[in-house]
Chain A
Amino acid sequence: MAGESPSQAVPETVETALADRLVEGRVCLEAGAGVGNATAGLLAAGAERVYAVTDDPDHAATVRDRCDDATDRLVVVEADLRQTPLRPDSVDLVTAHGLCNLLDPAALAAVAAELSRVATAGCHLVVDDYEPLPESAAVRDLFAVENAASELATGRSALTFYPASLLRRLFTGHGWTFDRETTLLDPVPWTASHLSAHAGVVTDATEDLPPELGDPLERRAERLAEAIGEEFAGTMYSVAMTRREGDETP
């Protein structure tokens, strides 16, 4: 995964989501660092320090490689987001860019509580994710196969698309106040590259399954990715919230 890097440009989705937040001089937490898109955006916007938290060693290495010119401001933390080593009241800005759809409801509840625990009073939160896809979207079939493979392999779904309104209410319950919602992408471009990555998740999940169960799912995912090719469907949103002063996590 290291070496060949993705486009180093900070995606416009991240730039747009951060545009109205104060980043300069702030201690930031990217929850679920992925390939470091939001981390790169936070560093570019002048964050004092970025904790890039991920439980995936490959992602951790990718983020370190990508942002190796900012090592004095970047701390890649390999940890479970439900229980991070960060102190309470230590983070001024939390980003969860494309994270929540990877969390099943139980994990989402635990992560929301943990992010609220580490947030300072007045901390900003930026949650960027996808609205549930319209029924007409062909990629839903691929994601259904992905969920089936994951359920069989781990007992958990791989993808859950939470409406913005639901995440907003969840965090309100943890003492956050709603600031704004912005549409980042409309429609969302599910490119051949994305579909291939999702089919790859199916392949990984089916490795632990008996062939008679896993092989048909793997073939189905590959066929769907090829048949769909590329699809524009659904929307990606950004919700921004602020942690109320003096509020305790329930």
Chain B
Amino acid sequence: METRPLGATGQESTVATFGAIALNWLEQEGANQMVEHVLDHGVNHFDVAPTYGDAELKLGPKLRQHREDIFLGCKTQERDYEGAAHKLERSLDRLGVDTIDLYQIHGLEYESELDEITGDDGALAAIREAKDDGKVDHVGLTSHGNPGLIRDAIDRIDDLETLMFPLNPVVAGKDDDEHDYEAVLERAEEEDIGTLGIKAFAKGSWPPTSDLPEKDRPYANWYEPVDTPEEIRDRFDFAASQGLSTVVTPGDPKLVSMVLDAAGRYDGMDEATQRSLVEQSRHDDSPVPEQLHH
């Protein structure tokens, strides 16, 4: 599988990163098999979080067995020093490892959070301390929030080394500021910050629960995913050809194999085909008025 530099971290990440939330939906034996399956495809970057059910615990055994082969990303939703320091220890304990390669501020949404995180008593202070203690190697941030806020975070966090944010043809086709993750990608490239793409396989929101109760959804993702091999391959190729360092696999274990297959076969996507996917989404998204043309 193709590898790319993860910004200036020195890490060469495979073009697919395993989103270990998928392990949450499997029993331990199935989780072990899944990790072996992912490693067999050559994936060297895993991403997990304490909020993904018991994914940290289920990742633990195989992570420890293959620790040298896995670049491990984990996250914290804590915003203050105490909380982040505590959650980091908890994750190290649950995963059963001494070091997390990439520790990320998880799910930045509001400007006030950015103030708190970067403050003297903020989560970043705890992560930097852990870095000095050798428990964390690199500092990252994840967000599916306002792209402008993410760009502010780049300005305000000098030692930021990676960013995780959404990128897919639906997002790329919208040219309002609220969806301008391409500007985030551009800014990250300027600063040599590694980029991880999420929601690459999102088709749209689930129907309202009145039409489709949550328990009847066929996938564990919090959005409705594309789910045929052709669509998965198109979506993977699109995301990987935007210039991201790596694309995170979707949260439902049923989809992971198809994504690994697509990632293994990735050899770029020409611009006319990228536009084709953007154009498809543009019309799916705006049925009124219907148009004859593109």
Contact = CB atoms under 8 A, between A and B. Distances in A.
Interface in B249-280: 270-273, 275-280
Interface stretch (A79-87, A179-187, A241-249): A179-187
A9 interface: yes
6 contacts: A7-B173, A9-B173, A9-B176, A12-B173, A184-B272, A193-B287
A223 interface: no
B294 interface: yes
Contacts, number: 97
Interface string A190-217: 0111101110110000000000000000
Contact of B272 (A183, A192, A230): A183
A24 to B, nearest CB: 18
A197 B284 CA distance: 13
Contact of B279 (A4, A13, A35, A200): A13
Contacts of B284: 191-193
B212 interface: no
Given A12-B279, A185-B294, 8 more contacts: A13-B279, A16-B271, A35-B291, A191-B283, A193-B286, A193-B287, A197-B292, A230-B280
Contacts of A28: none
B291 A1 contact: no
B289 interface: yes
Main secondary structure of the interface of A (DSSP, over half): mixed
A98 B294 CA distance: 7
Contacts of A189: 276-277, 279-280, 283, 294
Contact of B276 (A34, A37, A186, A192): A186
B294 A9 contact: no
A1 B270 CA distance: 35
A86 B175 CA distance: 33
B289 A4 contact: yes
B293 A1 contact: no
B293 A16 contact: no
A10 interface: yes
A187 B176 CA distance: 26
Nearest to B173: A9
Interface in A129-147: none
A110 interface: no
Contact of B294 (A8, A13, A62, A196): A13
A35 B174 CA distance: 17
Contact of B273 (A37, A186, A192): A186
Contacts of B286: 6-7, 193
B294 A11 contact: yes
A244 B142 CA distance: 54
A212 B276 CA distance: 39
A12 B278 contact: yes
A191 B175 contact: no
B294 to A, nearest CB: 5
